[in-house]
Amino acid sequence: MSILMAAIVPHPPIILPIIGQGQEYEIRATTAAYREIARRVRQLAPDTIVVLSSHATSYADYFHISPGKKARGDMKRFGAEQLQVNVNYDEEFSLALEKNAKRAGLPAGTKGEREKALDHGTIIPLTFLAERELPCEVVRIGISALSAVEHYRLGKCIKKTAEELNRSVVVVASGDLSHKLLETGPYGYHASGPAFDRQATEAFAEGDFLRLMTLDAALCEEAAECGLGTFWILAGTLDRMNVKSELLSYEGPFGVGYAVAAFTPAGANESRAFDVLVQRAERERLIEIRAKEDALVRLARETVEAFVRTGDVLPLPAELPEEMRSVRAGVFVSLKIGGKLRGCIGTISAATENIAQEIVKNAIAACSEDPRFEPVRAEELERITYSVDVLGPTERIESMDQLDAKRYGVIVVSGYRKGLLLPNLEGVDTVDEQVKIAKRKAGIPESERCRMERFEVVRHT
């Protein structure tokens, strides 16, 4: 036995009448689609339901699988303490999945549970599925900040575990889409919100998991989505399978996108190995990027690669542009993986003899000393892209009117506190956002007046 069916569902508390108090009528198409999913699941009568929840225990670099034999949860935080769900966990499945993940080199397991109680991302779909009582055991899994491929590979381990244990399994991915569909929504409006939802729902309708796994990282962040990791895991549970895909509903009247989709396995298809396809496409993209590197970016990359692999600092290459040897300037070196920041360290003004030495110094710091991240590991190097920003001179400004978030970087100063933000950053579209983030980095209250400076940069990618 293996995966009988997989479904994508949202988890708005307001969909439950006891919480919605009539507002659930605004998403009645979602409710109807949810009930259809529940009907199909009850008809299939699986041995186990695997719930992938974006609100279950999660870590940046680890997938958490809920341990033990049972759990309960309620909707007290949403004003409905009387709404309770009790589940029996499929402990054998969880432990077998943990072993399969370990064999696959994935950081996943049952340790580190911060909250035993069921989260609302689990409670809401199980409330629909249970009718009176849940007819089978459950496995609850959280997401991580790891890549789409690693989420997909966890899905493959779920599929493998089901086959090894001879379990019939239904997979439920609980996650909302964008939270930025309307100005009146919880996070306001951003054009990336509707764009993300359109692309995601088209992928659901077509069963196009490759598209789902290669959505632009900046678009996803700007859209403030919350379910993508669960969708990637779901895709992996259908690895190398044809699927019948159905987008049963999509709504967003409260400023958050709610989609319900069903996927039914329809025979083997070796070409639908999406982790392999994504990795192949990424390798080809990085080869193209490497071929177009200029001297500054190449120096940053080669410095990081040598330092991470050996701990050595390479001597400067004999052949470098004269500007890199004779000019002094502040430099920022940024590292990204899959469009997400992996490290960034820089200097506002020159701290070394020239731009080349500044790049070497800050490249090493970006891969090993950025306090927001663990040091870069050797196995990550082939996936990293680099950018080098060379800063121009700073000038004092009297008003935010003298800023342009795309053209100028900003420095904010209050006493000994100083914060800097580079220009033309993904997701930072306005001067207000730029100054707010720079103040936050400096520990300066948003309402506090401060001295401001601006500067231009030359960005090398």
Final residue of a structural domain among 228, 259, 277: 277
Tell how strand 331-337 and strand 384-391 pair up: antiparallel
| Claim to verify: residue 54 and residue 187 sit in the same structural domain | yes
The torsion defined by the Cα of 327, 328, 329 and 332, in degrees rounded to 10, comes to: 90
| Claim to verify: residue 271 and residue 374 sit in the same structural domain | no
| Claim to verify: residue 141 and residue 179 sit in the same structural domain | yes
429 burial class (0-12, 13-18, 19+ CB within 10 angstroms)?
middle
| Claim to verify: residue 380 and residue 257 sit in the same structural domain | no
| Claim to verify: residue 443 and residue 330 sit in the same structural domain | yes
Residue 442 confidence (pLDDT): 86
Q: Is the pTM of this model over 0.75?
A: yes
* Residues 39 and 261 sit within 8 Å (Cβ to Cβ): no
pLDDT in tens, the chain (461 residues): 799 999 999 999 999 999 999 999 999 999 999 999 999 999 999 999 999 999 999 998 899 999 999 999 999 999 998 998 999 999 999 999 999 999 999 999 999 888 899 999 999 999 998 866 677 999 999 999 899 999 999 999 999 999 999 999 999 999 999 999 999 988 999 999 999 999 999 999 999 999 999 999 889 988 999 999 999 999 999 999 999 999 999 999 999 999 999 999 999 999 999 999 999 998 898 999 999 999 999 999 999 999 999 999 989 998 899 999 999 999 999 999 887 889 999 998 899 999 999 999 999 999 999 998 999 999 899 889 999 999 999 889 888 889 898 999 899 998 889 888 889 887 788 889 899 999 998 899 988 889 999 989 999 98
- What distances in angstroms separate CA 226 from CA 77, 175, 342, one per listed residue? 19, 6, 20
Q: Check which CATH number belongs to the domain holding 395 and give it.
A: 3.30.700.20
Task: Give the SS3 label for residue 390.
Answer: strand
d(CA 18, CA 33): 19
Task: Give the SS3 label for residue 78.
Answer: helix
Residue 132 confidence (pLDDT): 60
- What distances in angstroms separate CA 174 from CA 118, 125, 399, 458, one per listed residue? 13, 7, 46, 43
| Claim to verify: residue 236 and residue 324 sit in the same structural domain | no
| Claim to verify: residue 187 and residue 309 sit in the same structural domain | no
Task: Give the SS3 label for residue 328.
Answer: coil
Which H or E run includes 411?
Answer: strand 409-414
Residue 128 confidence (pLDDT): 92
Residue located via tokens 């381990």:
157
| Claim to verify: residue 74 and residue 117 sit in the same structural domain | yes
d(CA 247, CA 26): 19
Final residue of a structural domain among 277, 309, 333: 277
Final residue of a structural domain among 277, 312, 345: 277
| Claim to verify: residue 103 and residue 230 sit in the same structural domain | yes
Residue 89 confidence (pLDDT): 96
| Claim to verify: residue 238 and residue 322 sit in the same structural domain | no
| Count of structural domains, the chain | 2
d(CA 303, CA 229): 32
- What distances in angstroms separate CA 377 from CA 106, 304, 411, one per listed residue? 15, 10, 32
Q: Check which CATH number belongs to the domain holding 193 and give it.
A: 3.40.830.10
**Radius of gyration for the alpha carbons in the chain, expressed in angstroms and rounded:** 25
| Claim to verify: residue 272 and residue 189 sit in the same structural domain | yes
The torsion defined by the Cα of 116, 122, 128 and 129, in degrees rounded to 10, comes to: -80
Return the structure tokens found at 412: 């904010």
Residue 53 confidence (pLDDT): 97
Which H or E run includes 71?
Answer: strand 70-75
Q: Which residues span the domain enclosing 187?
A: 3-277
| Claim to verify: residue 259 and residue 345 sit in the same structural domain | no
